[in-house]
Amino acid sequence: MNTLEVWMDSNLLEGLQRVGTLHHEHGHIRFDYAREWFDHLCHFNIDPDLSLD
């Protein structure tokens, strides 16, 4: 499995913030939001197909 941490640096977030992890395994791609992403007051889904559930 290949994984990639996703970070965002934005004025909305007051600096660098970890958003989650992108996973690729056997031709399938999955994204998991980081718990700390939900702790931020301005958290949002980064893509309409990536719900916060």
Which residue in the block uniquely carries the two structure tokens 């949002």? 44
Residue 1: its pLDDT value, please? 81
* Segment 12-48, tens digit of pLDDT: 777 899 999 999 999 999 999 999 988 887 788 888 8
Domain residue ranges in the chain = 2-39
d(CA 35, CA 17): 11
pLDDT over 90 at 3, yes or no: yes
Residue 41: its pLDDT value, please? 78
| Joined tokens for residue 14 | 């007051």
Distances in Å between the Cα of 35 and the Cα atoms of 6, 9, 26, 27, 38 are 13, 17, 25, 26, 6
